[in-house]
Amino acid sequence: MKFKLFFLLTFIFFIHTHAQSYIFGKIISEGGSDMQDVNVINIRTDEMVLSNGDGHFMISGRTGDELRFIKAGYERVIKKISQENVQTPMEVSLVRQTIQIPEVEVKQGLTGNLKIDSRNYNKPKKVEKLSKEIDSYIAQKSDPRILAARPGEFVQPKGEGFSIGKVKNKWDDIDLMSYIKASLGEEYFTNLKIEKPLIDHFISYVLAGGFERKKILKYGFCSDADLYRFQRFVLTRISTYRTPEAQK
């Protein structure tokens, strides 16, 4: 009897620990404004939702899951769900990305002084000759005997190398969605009767339907052939697409 009771309590604790909950929260800007249409992704389940007009979101998850918050023009934020987040709403603040201004090289112009300008723009013949000799020397191939081992020296044997782990993808689905949306244009989706606020949701629906994209994400490159393949795949998914309002 005691063993059965212990087993029952252990089972209840396991179910409670691994139970799936819904995480609620609100997303604001660094200035305190409500953030709409922010992509919220559960890294473990790949589920994605968008924040509404008030910046609120709801997504399934559990303690320990990582949520990724992404919006164009803002720094990405990753939050790990704690026990407190399961019980009380989560508040997330996004900060705008810093735009790096390219460095401008200021070149010296003509001064009008013949002596100064001739010194700045006409290199001495000795300097030009030395530069050509250096370029010629660098272009020459080294004699393999220079790097050959001397008699009695140990030489490290050559092998096939070893793997240092899985190569991280250059893109994720959000990067691919942004590229598809920018390449095809909003008019392509509106012609399919997809409203502008639902374009991201529709692209996510198409990708979730089994669109093959491993190489695209791995190399961070989407070719014209991939875009054409995506458009053909859209035709197989558009008839079953339901908007978020229709799913409720």
Give the model's confidence band at 41: pLDDT under 50 very low, under 70 low, under 90 confident, else very high.
very high
Q: pLDDT tens, 173-219?
A: 999 999 999 999 999 999 999 999 999 999 999 999 999 999 999 99
Task: For the chain, list the domains and their CATH numbers.
Answer: 17-94 (2.60.40.10), 173-242 (no CATH)
Per the CB < 8 A criterion, the answer to whether 87 and 63 are in contact is no
> Cβ–Cβ contacts within 10 Å for residue 133, how many?
10
Torsion of CA 185, 191, 193, 198, to 10 degrees: 0
Q: What angle do CA 229, 214, 242 make, to 5 degrees?
A: 55
Max CA pair span of the chain: 107
DSSP 8-state symbol, 192? T
Per the CB < 8 A criterion, the answer to whether 28 and 92 are in contact is yes
Give the model's confidence band at 226: pLDDT under 50 very low, under 70 low, under 90 confident, else very high.
very high
Per the CB < 8 A criterion, the answer to whether 90 and 80 are in contact is no
Q: Which helix (H) or strand (E) holds 49?
A: strand 48-50
Average pLDDT, integer, range 77-86: 89
CA pseudo-torsion sign 8, 13, 18, 19? positive
DSSP 8-state symbol, 118? H
Q: pTM above the 0.85 mark?
A: no
Residue 3's closest CA among 19, 11, 18? 11
* Strands of the 77-80 sheet, one edge to the other: 48-50, 39-42, 66-70, 77-80
CA pseudo-torsion sign 222, 226, 227, 231? negative
Q: What angle do CA 95, 170, 71 make, to 5 degrees?
A: 25
Q: pLDDT tens, 98-142?
A: 766 556 555 566 666 655 666 665 666 666 777 777 777 666 665
Strand partners, 29: 94
Torsion of CA 45, 35, 89, 60, to 10 degrees: -20
Pairwise CA distance, residues 193 & 92, whole Å: 33
